[in-house]
């Protein structure tokens, strides 16, 4: 390839990178501007007089509907919901994947196919019965309801991740351990767990991103005090009390995006692996 086409190649790739980064830059720049500067200046210009006032307001004072405590309480809700839901669904998924690959029994393949189809349904088709069920067992208006829902509908994916990983573990390893005298849980704990760290990372990160970013379950099943941060962000942006404060909106958006962005920066490798693994499912 000659130098000219090489130049165009890099030019196109860099332009695409700029395009991908532009919204993040605009969000960041806007969040550090004052409302006056936003009105006077350009969308993409760097803040002339950076101020963190918008961030403070977004975190603790902005109105999200009737409440005006900022995103803080909802951010905590999201943490309280996401962490247990991720851990529970991952652990159950790991055990399921292990049982489905190395302890097959009559019907285990059918069971797996059945679970797999659960990955494809639009959640709208379960919303109405689930809303009534959560109401009936008193889980509505609490983070427990959301934890429950995320675990139930996350299991298909976590099982899939671990099943696809454990299918690559040679069956002879399990046989050797059984001859050595190990049982179901001993083999899982002593033989498989130590070699499962990569898939645990993939699964935890995938689930974290999915659950943290969820909006549908949050908006349908959460009460006003148990809403996750995505719902609160949407309310914050929609709540207008006089002047539209774009800087506060943007600061709030970044706050809501921060945990998943951090995970992406720290463990992007696993995130990508999860995406591609989820993609080649079936």
Taking a C-beta distance cutoff of 8 angstroms, is the pair 135, 143 a contact?
no
The two tokens of residue 274 are: 């999860």
Distance between CA 165 and CA 158 in Å, rounded?
11
**Shortest distance, position 186 Cβ to other proteins, whole Å:** 7
**Number of residues written out for the chain:** 282
Of positions 1, 3, 4, 49, contacts other proteins by CB under 8 A: 1
Taking a C-beta distance cutoff of 8 angstroms, is the pair 192, 178 a contact?
no
Residue whose C-alpha is closest to residue 91's, from 178, 175, 192: 192
Taking phi first (over 0 means left), then psi (-120 to 50 degrees means alpha), and beta for anything else, what does residue 138 get? left
Of positions 143, 166, 253, 270, contacts other proteins by CB under 8 A: 253
Q: Is 82 in the site for other proteins (CB under 8 A)?
A: no
SS3 category, 108: helix
Q: Which of residues 178-207 bind other proteins (CB under 8 A)?
A: 178-186, 190-191, 194-195
Of positions 54, 58, 81, 130, contacts other proteins by CB under 8 A: 130
Distance between CA 274 and CA 193 in Å, rounded?
18
Q: Is 177 in the site for other proteins (CB under 8 A)?
A: yes
**Shortest distance, position 258 Cβ to other proteins, whole Å:** 10
Q: Which of residues 229-248 bind other proteins (CB under 8 A)?
A: 230, 233-234, 237-238, 246
Taking a C-beta distance cutoff of 8 angstroms, is the pair 55, 251 a contact?
yes
Piece of the chain touching other proteins by CB under 8 A; list 52-60, 63-71, 139-147, 209-217: 209-217
Rg (CA), the chain: 23
Q: Is 46 in the site for other proteins (CB under 8 A)?
A: no
Q: Is 27 in the site for other proteins (CB under 8 A)?
A: yes
Piece of the chain touching other proteins by CB under 8 A; list 51-59, 67-75, 111-119, 139-147: 111-119
C-beta closer to other proteins: residue 26 or 68: 26
Of positions 54, 71, 155, 160, contacts other proteins by CB under 8 A: 155
Number of residues that bind other proteins (CB under 8 A): 106
CA distances from 136 to 24, 92, 222, 224 (A): 42, 25, 14, 18
Q: Is 48 in the site for other proteins (CB under 8 A)?
A: no
Q: Is 111 in the site for other proteins (CB under 8 A)?
A: yes
């Amino acid at each position: 390839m000659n130098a000219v086409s090489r130049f165009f190649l890099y030019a196109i790739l860099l332009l695409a990178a700029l395009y991908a980064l532009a919204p993040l830059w605009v969000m960041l720049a806007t969040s550090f501007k004052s409302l006056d500067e936003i009105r006077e200046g350009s969308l993409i210009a760097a803040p002339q007089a950076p101020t963190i006032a918008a961030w403070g307001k977004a975190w603790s004072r902005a109105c999200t509907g009737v409440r005006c405590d900022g995103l803080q309480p909802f951010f905590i809700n999201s943490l309280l919901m996401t962490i247990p839901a991720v851990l529970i669904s991952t652990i159950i998924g790991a055990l399921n994947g292990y049982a489905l690959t190395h302890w097959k029994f009559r019907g285990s393949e059918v069971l797996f196919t059945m679970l797999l189809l659960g990955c494809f349904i639009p959640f709208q088709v379960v919303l109405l019965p689930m809303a009534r069920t959560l109401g009936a067992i008193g889980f509505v208006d609490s983070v427990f309801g959301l934890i429950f829902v995320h675990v139930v509908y996350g299991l298909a994916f976590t099982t899939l991740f671990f099943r696809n990983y454990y299918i690559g573990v040679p069956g002879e390893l399990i046989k050797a351990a059984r001859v050595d005298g190990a049982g179901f849980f001993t083999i899982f704990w002593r033989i498989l767990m130590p070699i499962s760290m990569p898939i645990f990372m993939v699964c935890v990160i995938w689930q974290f991103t999915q659950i943290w970013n969820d909006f549908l379950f949050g908006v349908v099943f959460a009460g006003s005090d148990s809403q996750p941060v995505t719902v609160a962000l949407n309310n914050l942006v929609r709540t207008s009390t006089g002047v539209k404060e774009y800087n506060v909106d943007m600061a709030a958006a970044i706050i809501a995006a921060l945990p998943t962005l951090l995970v992406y920066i720290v463990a992007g490798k696993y995130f990508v692996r999860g995406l591609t693994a989820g993609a080649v499912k079936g």
